[in-house]
Amino acid sequence: MKHVYFFSRGQTDGDRDMRDLLGGKGANLAEMSRLGVPVPPGFTVTTEVCRHHLLTHHLPDGVEEQVSEAIRRLERLTEKQFGGADDPLLVSVRSGGAVSMPGMMDTVLNLGLNDQTVEALARISGNECFAYDSYRRFLQMYSDVVLEVGHRSFEAILSDVKRQAGVETDNELEADALRSVVRRYKELIETESDSPFPEKPEDQLWGAIEAVFRSWRTPRAQAYRKTYRIPHDLGTAVNVQTMVYGNRGTDSATGVAFTRNAATGEPKLFGEFLINAQGEDVVAGIRDPLAIDQMQEVMPDAYSELLETARRLETHYREMEDLEFTIEKGTLYLLQTRSGKRTARAAVRIAVDMANEGLISREEAVLRVEPDRLDEVLHSMVDPSVDFRPLAVGNPASPGAASGRIVFTAKEAVEEAAGGDPVILVRTETSPDDFEGMVAAVAIVTSRGGKSSHAAVVARGMGKCCVVGTKDLEIDEAAGEVRADGKIVRRGDWITVDGASGEVIEGRIPTVKPEPGEDFHTLMGWADEFRKLRVRTNADNPADAATAREFGAQGIGLCRTEHMFFGEERIDAVREMILADDKAGRAAALAKLLPMQRSDFAGIFRAMDGLPVTIRLLDPPLHEFLPAEADEVRRLAEGLGRSVDEIEGAVARLHEANPMLGHRGCRLGYSHPEITAMQARAIIEAALEVAAEGVDVLPEIMVPLVGHLDELDNQRAIVDGTARDVFAEQDRKIDYLVGTMIELPRACLTAGEIAERAEFFSFGTNDLTQTTLGLSRDDAGNFLPLYVEAGVYASDPFQSLDTVGVGRLMRLAVHEGREKRPDLKVGICGEHGGDPPSVVFCHSLGMEYVSCSPFRVPVARLAAAHAALKETASAESESS
Ligand code: ADP
Ligand code: MG
Ligand code: MG
């Protein structure tokens, strides 16, 4: 069996498609060798050998022979000898799995050096400093990663010698000084590891190879794989490669480069290099590296070769590449290439530029940008050039970054924000009561709750930065302080929050707000050409509606009317309505709300001129509108001319053990038909009003939480009756639709029946997930993360649709609904509407649209394009 794959110009076994077997580094070293790019020759021991070794602690048969044979081949090719006393062959040993993984074994350079070969190297190169510099580097790396001894003490010895020699940097040391470094290193190794340093190159080589295999299992590598969901059984390959030397003097160097700017995407070589240095010196920050442009002056020939090579690699890979290179005595060598990591902005620009350059197609360009990353393009973030240590890190719930003064309650937020300085609301958790405070704050931080907690959902809806479940933040509202990381910050102190990273930082850290540029709009335009799904937004005020429209929303998929009930003057009327003793009292309170709702709807209709607007009738349980705190109860009692006892009694009567499954949704309209009638009237009157102004208005009235056809019938009769009355009163008409949310399993199971009376379905997948899985998302925090970690659910089902369970009900509902009513409009308006994998699923069900919060609209547009393009691609590959 073949365990070892050779690479050198003209004799290369592997290629770029063999990542799984050779690892990414090995596959690309092979590919570059095939291309004729200057790569020092070497060989790759496969990931299969590693897997075998991990299971059995032995090497499979034949590996040792194949490695020896490959070493012989390198000797012939380079005309050097491994361990040779005349002209020694030195190699590097480098790990590299199929998926790139920092945290694995570090590289060992200059392997093959010992007390004899170092002298040969000095002689051959005529440069003793270089030989001993290479040797001390080898001793240090080998001890660190193979013998696992001495890390700190090596640094101490080196500093000591530098101090004695009176120099600042490593490469100012003279040969004698370096010799003494080497001697002291070896003494240290011998004491610490209880055996002398292995002098035989073969022993060194096998020591290093097995260390690479072992490094697959280190806690840090395991932790990394867990975080990024990399399977634990892949194993790593080992690359053994002839050394080239960037530390041979001032005509030698080592560096890293991106073929385009990784931060901005500008099509220009970008990177750094260091003269007379080796390996990771550039990254390690030992000396200040030079910008790659400066190479043009100091090494013009190598520079133009690097430019030329970068261009070749980019054209070959059709990707922005991240290169590692070394220059030995003016000659360029490539040591690594891989696709380069980049900011979201750069990703967008590079995709668009490459399509315009003809390097890739527009379809590929669209597929090159991960939809989720558009968040970074659209929101502010903490200035990446600033160093800080966060007070605490929570769950990043809604992206964006902001600085503000700490407040602890919604009331404080409103009051303090009026003073002019921005405020950040810091609370254990938020409730609907806090809504106005959340509006007033620039950011929201909670110490409890997950990404689908109240704070997270509401903040995302507002496009406001939010971090939730920041467990290390001890919030002491009474003392007016927050404790974390051994520090105390107080009410009124400044903090900065980054909702994309989850960081909560003391003080005011500068933030940067990227303007989505022309490239962004170009890419989104292409995405729009390819997608089939329409994208609507969830919005309940004209400002959000307008923002969403700018982001490309094609209508409103969910306008939650209850959010309009929380405004300062309104809440009193709402409470009066809830607490009324009889129908007449209720009617009086509703009459106060009618004009307010009408003007809300009119504003939204105007903002959405020409586009459909789905308005949901009142949904939440009534007690959510009632006061919880004593002074609020007192104020309400005074306002209504009632006793505190009466109010408390009413609050207690409305209390529910399980409000999520309680008196809410269409059940409210069923028991209080006048609420539905008021809302229907407000919608129809507003529509007539704006239609008279020339606005093209398309209202869709949506009945929530229907489980039984009769519920829809009942509500529909009220809506249609009210509409008829209003049309008669005004002697005018407009078209409107009545449909329903599909958010209960029973609605899915009887979708055929329901479709007879519903003109549209909109999946409310938050409730549908709760009711299908039988778990309340507010209470799932203690066990759901465990399930996700264990892989019971592939991801949080409130974030990404559980396509197997919930998705099956949806499929059934779409199928049976369309069977009864072929022109049934189907969409989704839960949080999932902005989640890329869920969007892909909605596409596969053939829905008309997805609806999501305004800032997610571009994400959903791109995700919808991905869904359509990937479907086409897989259909093509099946038919061919
Ligand atoms: P990592 O995966 O951490 O980047 P590498 O295996 O790429 O580790 O090695 C790190 C650095 O070591 C390379 O970027 C290069 O500078 C240096 N290096 C590795 N192999 C050689 C070699 N054969 N000759 C010269 N330098 C090398
Ligand atoms: Mg590397
Ligand atoms: Mg719902």
The 10s digit of each residue's pLDDT in 720-771 is 999 999 999 999 999 999 999 999 999 999 999 999 999 999 999 999 999 9
Mean pLDDT in residue range 576-594: 91
Q: Would you place residue 880 in the very low, low, confident or very high pLDDT band (cuts 50, 70, 90)? A: low
Active site (catalytic) residues: 454, 829
Q: How far apart are CA 502 and CA 400, in angstroms?
A: 10
pLDDT of residue 284: 61
pLDDT for 548 beyond 80 = yes
Q: How far is the CA of 673 from the centre of ligand 3 (A)?
A: 19
Q: How far is the CA of 574 from the centre of ligand 1 (A)?
A: 68
Angle at 340 between CA 229 and CA 346, to 5 degrees: 105
DSSP state of 143: I
Q: How far is the CA of 237 from the centre of ligand 1 (A)?
A: 14
Of 350, 23, 369, 76, which is closest to residue 212 (Cα–Cα)? Answer: 23
Q: Which atom in ligand 1 lies closest to the alpha carbon of residue 241?
A: 23
Q: Is 254 in the pocket of ligand 1 (CB under 6 A)?
A: yes
- What amino acid occupies position 639? G
Q: Is 597 in the pocket of ligand 1 (CB under 6 A)?
A: no
Of 228, 515, 551, which is closest to residue 376 (Cα–Cα)? Answer: 515
| HEC sequence for 484-498 | ECCEEEECCCEEEEE
Q: Is 243 in the pocket of ligand 1 (CB under 6 A)?
A: yes
Nearest ligand by distance to the CA of 110: 1
pLDDT for 286 beyond 70 = no
pLDDT of residue 342: 84
pLDDT of residue 452: 65
Q: Is 244 in the pocket of ligand 1 (CB under 6 A)?
A: yes
**Portion of the chain with pLDDT greater than 90, in percent:** 71
**CA distances (Å), 80 to each of 53, 243, 504, 550, 726, in order?**
30, 11, 57, 66, 96
Mean pLDDT in residue range 321-338: 96
Of 205, 230, 212, 241, which is closest to residue 30 (Cα–Cα)? Answer: 241
Q: How far apart are CA 60 and CA 53, in angstroms?
A: 7
pLDDT of residue 104: 64
Residue nearest to atom 26 of ligand 1 (CA): 279
pLDDT for 84 beyond 70 = yes
Residue nearest to atom 24 of ligand 1 (CA): 243
Q: How far apart are CA 86 and CA 69, in angstroms?
A: 21
Q: How far is the CA of 80 from the centre of ligand 1 (A)?
A: 21
316 by Cβ neighbours in 10 Å (0-12 / 13-18 / 19+) ranks as middle
Q: How many CB atoms lie within 10 A of CB 221?
A: 22
- Token pair of 40 as six digits: 């020092």
Point out the least confidently predicted range of 274-283, 387-396, 657-666, 833-842.
274-283
Q: How far apart are CA 348 and CA 366, in angstroms?
A: 9
**Substitution site in 82, 92, 244, 333 for ligand 1 pocket (most atoms within 8 Å of beta carbon):** 92
Q: Which atom in ligand 1 lies closest to the alpha carbon of residue 106?
A: 3
Task: Calculate the dihedral angle through the C-alpha atoms of 620, 625, 628, 629, rounding to the nearest 10 degrees.
Answer: 150
pLDDT of residue 383: 82
pLDDT for 869 beyond 80 = yes
pLDDT for 220 beyond 80 = no
Q: Specify which residues 108 forms β-bridges with.
A: 93
Q: Rounded to two decimals, what is the model's pTM?
A: 0.83
641 by Cβ neighbours in 10 Å (0-12 / 13-18 / 19+) ranks as exposed
- Token pair of 15 as six digits: 């290629």
pLDDT of residue 380: 84
Q: How far is the CA of 26 from the centre of ligand 2 (A)?
A: 11
Nearest ligand by distance to the CA of 256: 1
Of 725, 618, 597, which is closest to residue 673 (Cα–Cα)? Answer: 618
Q: Which atom in ligand 1 lies closest to the alpha carbon of residue 325?
A: 16
Start-to-end C-alpha separation, the chain: 33
**Portion of the chain with pLDDT greater than 70, in percent:** 98
Mean pLDDT score across all residues of the chain:
92
Q: Is 241 in the pocket of ligand 1 (CB under 6 A)?
A: yes
Q: How far is the CA of 95 from the centre of ligand 2 (A)?
A: 9
Nearest ligand by distance to the CA of 538: 3
Mean pLDDT in residue range 585-606: 95
Query: pLDDT (tens digit, 9 = 90+) per residue, 221-241?
Result: 887 787 677 888 999 999 999
pLDDT for 463 beyond 90 = no
- Beta-carbon contacts of 556 under 8 Å, excluding residues fewer than 6 positions away, are 536, 537, 538, 539, 545, 548, 604, 608, 611, 612, 613, 614, 615, 851
Q: Is 252 in the pocket of ligand 1 (CB under 6 A)?
A: no
Q: Is 92 in the pocket of ligand 1 (CB under 6 A)?
A: yes
- Token pair of 547 as six digits: 């923002």
